[in-house]
Chain A
Amino acid sequence: MVSFKPTDEEAAFVKMAKDFALHEIRPAARESEENKKVDHAIIKKANELGFTLLELPESWGGLELPLISQVQITEALAMGDLGVVQGLGGAGDAASFIRMDPDNSLLADYKISLASGTETAAAFLNCEEDGKHKVTIEASGGEYLLNGRSAPVKMAEKAECLLISGVDSAGEDVLLWIGHIQQHSGLRKKTGGDYRLGLLSSHFASYEFENVKLNQASVFAMGEAARSLKDNAISRIIVLEAAKEVGLMNAALSYTAEYTSQRKAFGQEIAKFQGVSFNVAQMAIAASAARNLVWHAAMKIDQQEADAIGFSMGTLNNAHEAVRFVTDSAVQLLGGHGYVQEHPVEKWMRDAQAQVNVFMSESELLARSGDYLLSGTKGGIQDDILRTVTASKPS
C-alpha cells in the first residue's frame, strides 16, 4: 500500500536529528566556517547520538540503517548547516563501501580504530568523475603506480585513510585503500588551499601522487567485483548527498517563508506580493519534489531494484538543480539582506554551489542516468568514455 508515513523509530530519530540540527549545528555554522573546522564538541555529540554511524554495518559498531531511514535523518541534520554536516568526518563516503564489503581483511586496522572510538576520518577520491581528478593509475605486474594531482577532496585535510576508485591503464576497475597516508613518501596532501566558495568547514585538500606504488595489499577490489562494488556504493553515496541537499533546501525555504512574512515594503508584508509568494511556492515545490525523488531512490536501493543505480543519478541531478534554485531564491527574496552575513542564506547559497561542484556535475549525472535507461543496468557507452578520459595522462 502506498504510504508516506515514517516508522515510529524513524520519526523519533528524525526528531532528535532536527533538534540537534537547529539547536547545536545551526548556531555553530558561522564559527565553523570561520575556523574552517567543526567544533570538536559537535563531532563528539554527533558520534554519541549515532549520526556518523548510520551507514556503517553493525559488525563495525554502526547502525546499519536502511537507506530510506538514513535519508530522512540526513535531511534533518543538513537542515542545521550543510557545511557542518560535511565536516563531521568519520568513515564518510567510505562507509558505503564498508557496508558493501564489511569483512574485507584490508580494512581490519581501520575497523579497530573506528571501534575504539578514535575519530579516524577517511576520504574518498573518485577518479572516475569526468576526469576531473587528474590522477592516473598504471597497472604493472600486479602493482599500481599512481601519478598526478587530484582536485580538492572533501575531508582530505583531516583524513588518515584514503579510498581511491578508478580505472587502471588496462581499463580494469580498481578500488584501492590506503590505511596510512603518511606511510607513502610519494603521496602528499596539499592543505591550506585558498577556499572561499562554500563548505569551508569540510576540510578540503588535494592529493599529489608521485610514483606512489601500491601492491596487492592495498587492493580493496578489482575487475568485475570492483565495478559492482563501486556502482552500489556510489549510488548510496549519491542518494545520501541528495538527501543533504534536500535538508539545505528545507532550511532555506523555511527561513525565507518566515522572513518574507515579516518584512514589509509598499505598506504590506512582502509575502503578499505574488512576485514573492509564487517564488516561495516554487521553492517549496522544488524541495518537495526533490525529497520525494530522494526517498524513492533510497527505497529502490534498499529493495535492490534493477533501475536503482541509474535512477539515483537522475535524482542527484534533480537535487543539484533544485538546491541551486532554492538557495538562490532565498538570497533573492531577502534582497540586500540576503547578500550580507547577518543572515545565513548567503552562506547556504555558497554551500549549495560548492556541494554541486564536488559531487558530480549536473549534466554528467543526467547523461549517465540516461545511459542506464537506454542501455540497461550496465551503463553502456559511458564506461568506454570514462576509460579513455581517466586512462589518459594528466596534462
Chain B
Amino acid sequence: MISYELSPHQSQVKAIVHWFAENEIRPIAMISDKQKRVPDEWLNKVNSMGITLSTSSFGDDEGRNAAKKEAKGERQGNRLGVIASEEMGWGDPAIALTLPGPGLGGPPVQHSGTPEQKKRFLSIFSRDEEPRWGAYALTEPDAGSDVSGLQTTAVKTDGGYILNGQKIFITNGGRASWVVVFATVDRSIGRAGHRAFVVEKGTPGFSCSRLADKMGLRASETAELVFEDCFVPVENLLGGEEYYENLSSGPSGFRVAMKTFDSTRPIIAAMATGIARGAYEYTLDIINKEFPKHGRSYQTACAILAKLNQNITASRLLTWEAAWKADMGLPNAKEAAMCKAYSGKIALEATSKCLELLGPAGMEDTIVEKMYRDAKIFDIFEGTNQIQQLIIARHLYEPHGVRV
C-alpha cells in the first residue's frame, strides 16, 4: 500500500534527530564554519551521549537478503537513515559529517569486511571512550570521477602490502582512527587490480599532509593523505586475500568502492534536502514576520516559496523511494543516482533563491548564506551530477542494448 506516513519508530527517530539538530547542532553552526572546525568539547560531549554518524546500518549484512522479513517486521534501516540525515542536513551538514563514527568508511567495512575485520574496526566507536572517526579514501589528484585511474600502488610483500601514493579531499582523513584506502596491485589490469585496505592512524609511512580551505562545509575536515612505503598487514586487506582469489571474475576493490554508493547516495541526498528545507523554513519565517502581506514583493515571495516547497518535497520523495527500494532488497542504483542528482541541484537553487528573497541583509551572519556555500558540494562529492546522469542514462538504455 502506498503511504507517506512515518511509522511510530520513524517519527520518533525524526523527532529525536530534529531535536538534536535544533538544540545541539544549530547553536554551533556559524561559529564552527568560522573557525573551520567543530569544537572538541562539543564532540566529546556528543560522543559521550552516544551520538554517532553511521552510514552503514542501512547497508548491513541483512541487506543482501533483505527481502526476507526481519523478525520484528519489515527492514527499514535505509528509510531511517534518510529520515535522520535530512534532519542532520537541516542542522548543519559540515557538523553532521564530523560526528564521531565510521562515517563514509563504514559501508565498505560492513559490505566487504571479514567478520574479524568488522569487529576490529567497527567496535572501536564507543561512548565510553574518546570520540573516533573512520574515513573513506578513494579520490586522488588525477582520479576523481574516474576511479579506475587511481595511481596509489599496493605491492605484495611478506605479510602484507606496501602502499605508495596520495589521496585528496578525504573527509575526516586527518582525524580518522582508520581510513579505507583504495589502491591498485596492478595498474595494467585496471579495475580488477583494485584493493581496499584499512590503514590505521599512526602506521609508519601514512600521514596527513594538509587540510583544504573550501567554499563551504568549512567545519568538516577535508584532508590530503600521503602514503610513503607504508606497510599494511594482510589482515587489513578488506575481505582478506581469499575474497579476491576465490572469484576469478572479480569482486575487485572497485566493486567495493561502487557498491557503497548505493547506500550512501540517498544519505547524502537526504542531507541536501535538509539544507534546502533549512533555508526555505528560515526564509518563510522571515517573510511571514517582516513582509507586508500585499504588494509585489509579497507575491514574488509567494511564487518562489511555493516552487521551493515543491522541489524540496520531490527531492525527499525521490530519496525515500531509493531508500525504500534498498530496504526491500531491490536494486536501487538508478534511484540512488536520481535522488542525489536532483537534491544536489535543488539545494543550491533553494539557498540561492532564499538569499534573493532576503536581499542584502541575507549576506550578513545568516545561516542561509552558509547553507548556500555548503549546498554546492552536494552536487560534487559521492559522484558529480554528471556522473549521476551517466548512471541514470545507462540504466535507461540498458534494456535497449545501448551502453552510453
Contact = CB atoms under 8 A, between A and B. Distances in A.
Given A349-B376, A353-B372, A363-B356, A193 B365 contact: yes
A357 B359 contact: yes
Interface string A271-309: 001011000000000000000000000000000000000
Contacts of A170: none
Contact of A389 (B295, B304, B357): B295
A341 B212 contact: yes
Contacts, number: 152
A364 B215 contact: no
A275 B360 CA distance: 34
Interface string A319-360: 000001000100110011011111000110110011011100
Nearest to A205: B364
A153 B360 contact: yes
A338 B363 contact: no
B297 A264 contact: no
A185 interface: no
B191 to A, nearest CB: 12
Interface in A366-390: 367, 382, 385, 388-389
For the complex, would chain B's binding face be called helix, strand, loop or mixed by DSSP majority? Answer: helix
A385 B376 contact: no
A331 B215 contact: yes
Contacts of B271: none
Interface in A157-206: 193-198, 204, 206
A346 B215 contact: yes
Contacts of B56: none
A204 B390 contact: no
Contact of B300 (A133, A266, A350, A367): A367
Nearest to A331: B376
B93 to A, nearest CB: 13
A232 B372 CA distance: 34
Nearest to B294: A388
Contacts of B359: 129-130, 132, 151, 357, 361
Interface stretch (B20-28, B138-146, B178-186, B277-285): B138-146
A266 B191 CA distance: 12
Given A197-B372, A364-B297, A364-B300, A350 B361 contact: no
B293 to A, nearest CB: 11
B358 A363 contact: no
Nearest to B385: A332
B327 interface: no
Interface string B371-389: 0110011011100111001
